Amino acid sequence: MSKDGFNKDGYHKATGTKFNKLGYDQDGFSRNGYDKDGYDKNGIHIATGTLVNTAGLDKDGNYEATGTPFNEEGFGKDGFDKLGYDKDGFNKYGYDKNSFDKDGTHFVTHTLFNTAGFNKDGYHKSTVEKTSKN
């Protein structure tokens, strides 16, 4: 029995058929011949009839234009670049490279200033406080 529940003849333990509970065979293809991402055994996508899906990705998750998991702008299919930041400069948790969120709150201090006293724009709190008093 394989780790995904198929025996040597290709029958699934739970369903007694050649398809698992999700409708895929031991090779990951549905009754219609497509995998969970819509590609057939030859890598042709169901929606486009080509080797790439509507987003321009091939069956391996690479962009046709670049041959890599990142598009021409440097972002992957999840919307993040190689360093894990989106087009607005925030990671999947909503923080920028300096640990500030979109509202300027720092991840560690939970204030508008980091541990060194600087805000998201790089101004020290002593400078910011002086200008706001005037």
Q: Specify whether 92 is located in the same domain as 124.
A: yes
Q: Specify whether 50 is located in the same domain as 68.
A: yes
Q: Specify whether 112 is located in the same domain as 128.
A: yes
Over its length of 134 residues, how does the chain's per-residue pLDDT go in tens digits?
Answer: 788 899 999 999 999 999 999 999 999 999 999 999 999 999 999 999 999 999 999 999 999 999 999 999 999 999 999 999 999 999 999 999 999 999 999 999 999 999 999 999 999 999 876 666 55
What is residue 133's predicted lDDT score, i.e. its pLDDT? 58
DSSP 26-74: TTS-BTTS--TTSB-TTS-BTTTSSSS-TTSB-TTS-BTTTSSSS-TTS
How many structural domains are present in the chain?
3
Under 8 Å between Cβ of 107 and 114: no
Cβ partners under 8 Å of residue 90, min gap 6: 96, 101, 102
Under 8 Å between Cβ of 19 and 27: no
What is residue 130's predicted lDDT score, i.e. its pLDDT? 63
Under 8 Å between Cβ of 93 and 108: no
Q: Specify whether 67 is located in the same domain as 101.
A: no
Note down the domain range covering 59: 38-79
Cα 12 from Cα 3, distance rounded (Å): 11
DSSP state of 77: T
Q: Specify whether 95 is located in the same domain as 127.
A: yes
Q: Specify whether 18 is located in the same domain as 54.
A: no
Q: Specify whether 89 is located in the same domain as 134.
A: yes
Sign (positive or negative) of CA dihedral 70, 71, 72, 73: negative
Q: Specify whether 132 is located in the same domain as 114.
A: yes
